[in-house]
Amino acid sequence: MDEHKRSNAPAGTDGLQPEKPVKKKENRAALRQKLVRLAGDNRVLAAFSLVVAFFLWFVVISVVDPNQTTTVRYVPVNLDYNSAAYESYGLDIVEKPNMTVNVRVTGDGSVVGGLGASDLLVYPDYSSVSGAGTYTLKLLVRRADTSLSVQQQYEIEEITPNSYITLTFDKVSTKTFPVTVNVIGVEPAEGYFVDTPVAAPAEVTLRGPESQMSKVDKVVANVALSGQRTESALATAQLEFWDKDGKVLTDTHITADTEQVDVTIPILKMKEVPITFEYTGVPQGYDTSVLGAKLSQETILVAGSSERIDALESISAGFVDLTKFKLGETVTLNITMPDGLRNLDALQSVDVTFDTYGFATRTVTVSQISVVNAPSDISVSVTTRRLNDVTLVGPEDELNALSEANVVAQVDASASNINVSKGQQSMPVTIVIPGSNTVFATGSYEVLCDIDTTGGAG
């Protein structure tokens, strides 16, 4: 009996069969309840309404009414388009305003709905511009894409809110000016010097109406500093345009290729140092002090960085060539400043005079000609037998006592001085007076030598 009841029990009881149909019905009921709740949610209804409205709008503009009117906003006015119309008169726009307009267009809704400012070109009609002056010009508009297919899809109606633009034209010129730096308030410390300020860039190019450009006398960069300084200063300065009376020009249409410059104000240390010079063409063993040389100015005031100045001991004026020495003549030496140093005395040259009282000159003939420094594998023989008219300078009493036999001409036959492998070559000589340190020869002398680099010394 119990087994019969169990066999007739509903499916899913006592864990014998799953209750699948019951669960499906419950899930469908729960889904319907959720949908009902969502349908009653205002946010869901609003979003659904927007989607449906957009779809209906798209259908209307694309199918129901393809001729739609829309306004493309903030289209920039292109002042450079067709600029050749006024540039042919040598004119330019004095000041170019940034102007935008709105453009109303009509056409295929699927096209005009996607138009942007870059799809249209708005520009002034320059046909009435023929000379300098202020003009009110009508604005014209066209499609940026001029292909036929695009032209057929929409038409341009009008420009709003203003279909005119006012522009001033004038003959425009350009001119390059050096930048003048005007430093105010700089105070160098004791022993220091303010050098000329330097602007970078050092010059600027101005552009503007000729009537205004003619008033510009110079371009100025003002720099204000304070306090004592021992080091160079750096600053950035705005540019000003000054007239010939030193007044700043304002309310102009002049522009520069740069609005500001970097300015360096060098602060240099000063020092007074001796001026020196050296001799060239000095015979071996000659004592140049006997010439009693004296400079027209013995010291010079210079300026530079602290490191350079502290290490500086003297300024060289160059060389005095004894081979060109003449009794009673003054030798002028030019002063060249080393890089990085300033000559505060503006001294360009000094004169060298000589205390040669008791000195005289004597002309001798030199027959003693010797060869020195010849390589062992090169034969050098002197063809010239004597040198005539060799001028000697020295104390008169010593010159009178000097024998010509004591004057020697030496040929430096170092390999670097030989230019031929075999044959004749003219070579310079040095005049030597052995045993004398107060007599020397002036002038330049040469002898003819026979060279043979293929044999040994002869």
Query: What CA dihedral angle connects 51, 56, 62 and 63, to 10 degrees?
Result: 150
Is the bond preceding residue 274 a cis peptide, omega within 30 degrees?
no
**274/335 Cα distance (integer angstroms):** 12
Per-residue pLDDT of the chain (458 residues; tens, 9 = 90+): 444 444 444 444 444 455 555 555 666 666 666 655 655 666 666 777 777 776 665 655 555 456 789 999 999 999 999 999 998 888 988 888 999 999 999 988 778 888 899 999 999 999 999 998 999 999 999 988 877 565 567 888 999 999 999 999 999 889 999 999 999 888 899 999 888 899 999 999 998 888 899 999 999 999 998 888 898 999 999 999 999 999 999 988 899 999 999 999 999 999 999 999 999 999 888 999 999 999 999 999 999 999 999 999 999 999 999 999 999 999 999 999 999 899 999 999 999 999 999 999 999 999 999 999 999 889 999 999 999 999 999 999 999 999 999 999 999 999 999 998 899 999 999 999 988 999 999 999 999 999 998 755 44
188 close to 194: Cβ distance less than 8 angstroms: yes
Residues forming beta bridges with residue 390, ordered by sequence position: 364
Q: Is 315 helix (H, G, I), strand (E, B) or coil?
A: strand
CATH number of 67-162: 2.170.120
CB neighbours of residue 431 within 10 Å: 23
Query: For residue 290, what are its two tokens?
Result: 């006997």
Burial 370-391 (b: 16+ CB within 10 A, else e): ebeebeeebbbebebeebeebb
81 close to 123: Cβ distance less than 8 angstroms: yes
438 close to 394: Cβ distance less than 8 angstroms: yes
Q: Give the residue among 225, 303, 306, 302 at the shortest CA–CA distance from 264.
A: 225
Residue with tokens 């050096």: 178
pLDDT in tens, 72-99: 999 999 999 999 999 888 898 888 899 9
CB neighbours of residue 419 within 10 Å: 10
368 close to 407: Cβ distance less than 8 angstroms: yes
Q: Give the residue among 257, 331, 248, 251 at the shortest CA–CA distance from 288.
A: 331
What is the radius of gyration, based on Cα positions, of the chain? 50
Burial 246-273 (b: 16+ CB within 10 A, else e): eeebeebbbebeeeebebbbbbbbbbee
The CATH architecture annotation of domain 269-354 reads Beta Complex (2.170)
Query: For residue 338, what are its two tokens?
Result: 């080393």
The pTM is what? Answer: 0.55
**Sheet harboring 359-366: ordered strands across?**
359-366, 387-395, 440-442
Query: For residue 381, what are its two tokens?
Result: 């023989």
Residues with Cβ within 8 Å of residue 199, at least 6 apart in sequence:
179, 181, 221, 237, 261, 262, 263
pLDDT in tens, 206-249: 988 888 999 999 999 999 988 888 989 999 999 999 999 999 99
409 close to 430: Cβ distance less than 8 angstroms: yes
Q: Is 216 helix (H, G, I), strand (E, B) or coil?
A: coil
CATH number of 173-186+199-261: 2.170.120
Q: Is 363 helix (H, G, I), strand (E, B) or coil?
A: strand
134 close to 94: Cβ distance less than 8 angstroms: no
**425/407 Cα distance (integer angstroms):** 23
Phi and psi of 99, rounded to 5°? -125, 140
- Res 90: pLDDT: 86
**DSSP string across 133-200:** EEEEEEEEEEES---HHHHTTEEEEEEES--EEEEEEEEEEEEEEEEEEEEES-EEPTTEEE---EEE
Answer yes or no: same fold for 67-162 and 173-186+199-261.
yes
| Boundaries of every domain in the chain | 20-65, 67-162, 173-186+199-261, 269-354, 359-452
401 close to 366: Cβ distance less than 8 angstroms: no
**137/458 Cα distance (integer angstroms):** 102
Quote the distance between the C-alpha of residue 337 and its chain's center.
25
pLDDT in tens, 62-79: 554 567 899 999 999 999
Residue with tokens 């006024």: 86
The fold adopted by the segment(s) 359-452 is RNA Polymerase Alpha Subunit; Chain A, domain 2 (2.170.120)
Instruction: Check residue 226 and report its DSSP letter.
Output: -
